[in-house]
């Protein structure tokens, strides 16, 4: 089987594999991109073509592909044991990882609950928040507030608190009801304010919901600083600072979904660290294993944990779990990831690269179809529009993201736009010269499609 040609593998791929977020009718019309190997920021396909991984392989690969230290960590654990149930049992990698997480967060967080991907980390947070209020004697607090343009995963609970119609609208009959507040989308401000002079009027919608329904609301869930899949909508930290005060005023929980933003992506280890506030619940995944294996955590403080801590017969147990919760292989590579982040001062080392990415984004202002340029940490985003004055976007019929993706491949980079938004989210090991190369490829790809 391994000696098959590219064409034979491609035929099998089209015949048997149903790809996520992919219209298979389009997919089957071109030669599939079948990745064979990777090293650092580069991946190679079965044809031998080399590409810059401009999106960290779905935002997860922070330390580059085939990192020797991470490879060795998995090998060491593999020689010990590959799987252990975590219900009424434990293992060293899960214990060590939990301890490292709590110590590095350096806040009031005290407890780590394991799951196996971002969606399940969010499911855990929602169920945990609701059950917390039940145990506190407020079962009527069973609703959540979520933001427009938000994305928190693809399981039904996570979809229920999502706000992107493209992904979520069709499933509406299956979802639980929520309150939806305005998004802090400065380029397309829901309050028709200018970014330079606004007073975060978009928060008024949160306050209005709580003025009328605080006794029904368990919590609000946000993506800190960046609404990812909604279009890399980057907003000011002051929004979160003020939101936390609103949560305290109305006695609701702030759930911080850092599945995509944790572990250095915004320039701090965790995005909430930019704000000086501490959320009540935090969800982490993606970068926790540097993209190696599925693993997620939901982290809380002692106040929430103690609400579940009681005699067995009270049935206050948190009855939730997954077969691969805290898997030893995943936990062991996550521990090594933490060691690398600390020992190699990764967060400090990416600061010059953050400045470089910000400066390289400025060249896109020259392009006539660039409406907005956004940046934070190791994330850059460019929103493309038909008309800069009206901010009218391109229709789906244009297949803009697909065309730009194809042009990027021709030039040697994987850039997979979110609709009309082209973004950069490279591994941290990228060099400043490679940042220039990646952004040049994107620039040329946009010109080839639109000009």
* pLDDT number for residue 70: 98
Label residue 107 by pLDDT band (50, 70, 90): confident
What is the tally of structural domains in the chain?
A: 2
The burial class, CB within 10 Å (0-12 / 13-18 / 19+), for 1 is exposed
What does the pLDDT average to over 299-318? 97
Confirm whether 178 is domain-assigned.
Answer: yes
CATH number at residue 188: 3.40.640.10
Please answer whether residues 286 and 56 qualify as being in contact, where contact means their C-beta atoms are separated by less than 8 angstroms: no
* pLDDT number for residue 267: 98
Range with lowest mean pLDDT among 35-44, 58-67, 359-368, 391-400 = 391-400
Query: Are 315 and 205 contained in the same domain?
Result: yes
Confirm whether 133 is domain-assigned.
Answer: yes
0.85 exceeded by the pTM? yes
Domain encompassing residue 405: 33-66+350-450
Confirm whether 3 is domain-assigned.
Answer: no
Query: Are 95 and 58 contained in the same domain?
Result: no
Identify the residue whose tokens are 């959540």. Answer: 144
Q: Which phi and psi angles does 380 have, rounded to 5°? A: -130, 145
Query: Are 153 and 232 contained in the same domain?
Result: yes
Per DSSP, helices labelled H in 283-382 are 302-306, 328-343, 346-349, 351-361
Confirm whether 27 is domain-assigned.
Answer: no
**C-alpha to C-alpha distance for 299 and 301, rounded to whole angstroms:** 7
Angle between helices 432-450 and 400-411 (to 10 degrees): 130
pLDDT at residue 396 tops 90: no
Beta-carbon contacts of residue 66 (< 8 Å; ≥ 6 apart): 37, 38, 39, 40
The angle at the Cα of 186, spanning 170 to 121, to the nearest 5 degrees, equals 50
Query: Are 433 and 289 contained in the same domain?
Result: no
* pLDDT number for residue 307: 98
Query: Are 106 and 216 contained in the same domain?
Result: yes
Query: Are 103 and 54 contained in the same domain?
Result: no
What does the pLDDT average to over 323-337? 97
Please answer whether residues 93 and 80 qualify as being in contact, where contact means their C-beta atoms are separated by less than 8 angstroms: no
Query: Are 138 and 261 contained in the same domain?
Result: yes
Kind and range of the H or E run holding 409: helix 400-411
Confirm whether 264 is domain-assigned.
Answer: yes
**C-alpha to C-alpha distance for 73 and 194, rounded to whole angstroms:** 50
Confirm whether 132 is domain-assigned.
Answer: yes
* pLDDT number for residue 270: 98
Mean pLDDT of the chain: 96
Domain boundary among 343, 378, 399: 343
pLDDT at residue 215 tops 70: yes
Confirm whether 416 is domain-assigned.
Answer: yes
Domain boundary among 310, 343, 376: 343
What does the pLDDT average to over 283-297? 98
Label residue 438 by pLDDT band (50, 70, 90): very high
Strand partners, 409: none
* pLDDT number for residue 1: 55
Please answer whether residues 63 and 337 qualify as being in contact, where contact means their C-beta atoms are separated by less than 8 angstroms: yes
Confirm whether 21 is domain-assigned.
Answer: no
Query: Are 248 and 381 contained in the same domain?
Result: no
Query: Are 273 and 210 contained in the same domain?
Result: yes
- The single-letter DSSP state of residue 86 is -
Structure tokens at 335: 């521990």
Query: Are 368 and 253 contained in the same domain?
Result: no
Query: Are 104 and 242 contained in the same domain?
Result: yes
What does the pLDDT average to over 335-351? 98
What does the pLDDT average to over 386-403? 90
pLDDT digits (tens, 9 = 90+) for 249-282: 999 999 999 999 999 999 999 999 999 999 999 9
pLDDT digits (tens, 9 = 90+) for 51-90: 999 999 999 999 999 999 999 999 999 999 999 999 999 9
CATH number at residue 428: 3.90.1150.10
* Gap between the terminal Cα atoms of the chain: 44
Query: Are 332 and 269 contained in the same domain?
Result: yes
Domain boundary among 309, 343, 377: 343
* pLDDT number for residue 2: 65
């Amino acid at each position: 089987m391994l000696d098959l040609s590219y064409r034979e593998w491609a035929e099998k791929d089209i015949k048997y594999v149903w790809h996520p977020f992919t219209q298979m009718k389009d997919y089957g019309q071109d030669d599939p991109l079948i990745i064979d190997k990777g090293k650092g920021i580069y991946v190679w396909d079965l044809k031998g073509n080399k590409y810059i991984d401009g999106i960290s392989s779905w935002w997860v690969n922070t330390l580059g592909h085939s990192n020797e230290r991470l490879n060795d960590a998995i090998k060491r654990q593999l020689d010990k044991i590959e799987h252990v149930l975590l219900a009424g049992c434990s293992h060293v990698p899960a214990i060590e990882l939990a301890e490292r997480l709590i110590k590095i967060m350096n806040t009031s967080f005290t407890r780590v609950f394991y799951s196996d991907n971002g969606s399940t980390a969010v499911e855990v947070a929602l169920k945990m928040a609701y059950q917390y209020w039940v145990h506190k004697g407020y079962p009527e607090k069973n609703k959540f507030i979520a933001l427009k343009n938000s994305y928190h995963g693809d399981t039904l609970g996570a979809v229920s608190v999502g706000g992107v119609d493209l992904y979520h609208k069709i499933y509406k009959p299956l979802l639980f009801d929520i309150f939806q507040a305005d998004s802090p989308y400065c380029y397309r401000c829901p309050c028709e304010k200018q970014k330079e002079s606004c007073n975060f009027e978009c928060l008024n919608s949160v306050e209005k919901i709580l003025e009328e329904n605080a006794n029904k609301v368990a919590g609000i869930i946000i993506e800190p600083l960046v609404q990812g899949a909604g279009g890399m909508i980057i907003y000011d930290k002051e929004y979160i600072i003020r939101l936390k005060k609103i949560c305290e005023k109305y006695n609701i929980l702030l759930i911080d979904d850092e599945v995509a933003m944790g572990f250095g992506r915004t320039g701090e280890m965790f995005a909430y660290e930019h704000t000086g506030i501490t959320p009540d619940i935090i969800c982490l995944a993606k970068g926790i294993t540097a993209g190696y294996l599925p693993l997620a955590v939901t982290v809380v403080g002692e106040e929430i944990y103690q609400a579940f801590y009681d005699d067995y017969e009270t049935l206050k147990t948190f009855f939730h779990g997954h077969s691969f919760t805290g898997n030893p292989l995943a936990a062991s590579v996550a521990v090594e990831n933490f060691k690398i982040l600390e020992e190699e001062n990764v967060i400090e080392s990416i600061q010059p690269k953050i400045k470089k990415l910000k400066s390289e984004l400025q060249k896109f202002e020259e392009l006539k179809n660039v409406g907005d340029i956004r940046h934070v940490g190791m994330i850059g985003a460019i929103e493309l529009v038909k008309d800069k004055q009206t901010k009218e976007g391109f229709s789906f019929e244009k297949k803009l993201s697909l065309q730009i993706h194809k042009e990027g491949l021709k030039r040697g980079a994987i850039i997979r736009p979110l609709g009309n938004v082209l973004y950069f989210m490279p591994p941290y090991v990228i060099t400043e010269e490679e940042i220039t190369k990646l952004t040049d490829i994107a620039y040329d790809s946009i010109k080839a499609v639109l000009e």
